[in-house]
Amino acid sequence: MSKKQQNRPAGGKKTRPAAKKGPVAAARSHGMSTNLRITIGLIVFAVLASVGIVAIANAGDEPVVSNELLVRPDSHKLTSATDGKATLVEFLDFECEACRALYPAMEKLRKEYDGRITFVVRYFPLPSHANGELAARVVESAAAQGKFEAMYQKLYETQGEWGEQGSPQEALFLDYARAMGLDMAAFQAKLADPATAERVAKDMADGRSLGVDRTPTVYFNGEHVKEPSYASLKSAVDAALAS
């Protein structure tokens, strides 16, 4: 699963065992002098201690889930329920392999519960993916011409063609848009419009405020689903609809 590096509360872990497993242990295995091993050990201990202090200071800073942050008025909805009993929100990155792996389950749930569940898509491209942010803008630009769902599906289904590439894949994305019959002048103008990048950035800002640090991150009725799968989500949806 794709993930940003971020400090997490230390949870009371002792730092002494961690130091033994790090550079100090490596130094021992290579027969370094006792004084050098002690020096390295002290440095490692100081670093780990400082990390622990930061973690303790941030221990109470975990963000609280807010419905306003989960679903904005302009958030894209693949399906909408009339009774509001079931709302599924996914923060995703179109270049994320784990998101692609979850995609079939999400599609199955959408079809199975069409009209009974609200499925909300939020952009959260990770900086480690060269084309993640561009892909989000491509989908947003297609949405301006009523093709959000079509491009959403296209990018997942073709991820093997453009994902994990070190160079921008804009030419390929333009081919996808052209094949969909989009107005290419309008599409390219929307793609280059700073407002489109801002729209993606707003989703990312909401995600960070919620504590999202990886994709896919899924919420069901405001609760974080730690291990999303077809079975776990179906169970949650069934329980909500039965209430």
Q: What is the pLDDT of residues 161-176, one digit of tens each?
A: 999 998 999 999 999 9
User: Which pLDDT band, with edges at 50, 70 and 90, does 184 fall under?
Assistant: very high
Q: What is the pLDDT of residue 57?
A: 34
pLDDT at 1: 52
31 versus 110: which is more confidently predicted?
A: 110
Whether residue 9 has pLDDT greater than 90: no
Per-residue confidence band for 105, with pLDDT thresholds at 50, 70 and 90: very high
The residue that leads in pLDDT, 133 or 9, is 133
- Is the domain of 28 the same as that of 84? no
51 and 90: one domain? Answer: no
Is position 169 within any domain?
Answer: yes
The pLDDT-based confidence of 232 (bands split at 50, 70, 90) is very high
Q: Which residue has the higher pLDDT, 39 or 230?
A: 230
Structure confidence at residue 181 as a pLDDT band (50, 70, 90): very high
Please tell me the predicted confidence (pLDDT) of residue 160: 96
The answer on 99 and 31 residing in a single domain is no
Long-range contacts of 134-137 (CB under 8 A, 24+ apart): 134/168, 134/169, 134/170, 134/173, 135/93, 135/94, 135/95, 135/162, 135/173, 136/93, 136/94, 136/200, 136/203, 137/191, 137/196, 137/197, 137/200
Q: How many domains does the chain have?
A: 2
Q: Are residues 117 and 29 in the same domain?
A: no
* CATH number for the domain that contains residue 102: 3.40.30.10
| Mean pLDDT along residues 79-104 | 96
Q: Considering only CA atoms, give the Rg of the chain.
A: 22
Residue 82 has a pLDDT of: 86
pTM as predicted: 0.73
The whole-number average pLDDT for the span 65-85 is: 92
Mean pLDDT of the chain: 82
Per-residue DSSP letter, 147: -
pLDDT tens, position by position, 25-66:
343 344 444 344 434 444 434 433 343 333 333 333 444 477
Evaluate whether residue 2 is within a structural domain. Answer: no
SS3 178: helix
How many alpha carbons fall within 13 Å on the CB side of residue 79? Answer: 21
Is the pLDDT reported for residue 215 higher than 60?
A: yes
Give me the DSSP letters along 70-96: H--TT-EEEE--SS-S-EEEEEE-TT-
Q: Are 75 and 155 part of one and the same domain?
A: yes
pLDDT surpasses 70 at 242: yes
**Structural domain range at position 177:** 67-242
Residue 6 within any structural domain of the chain: no
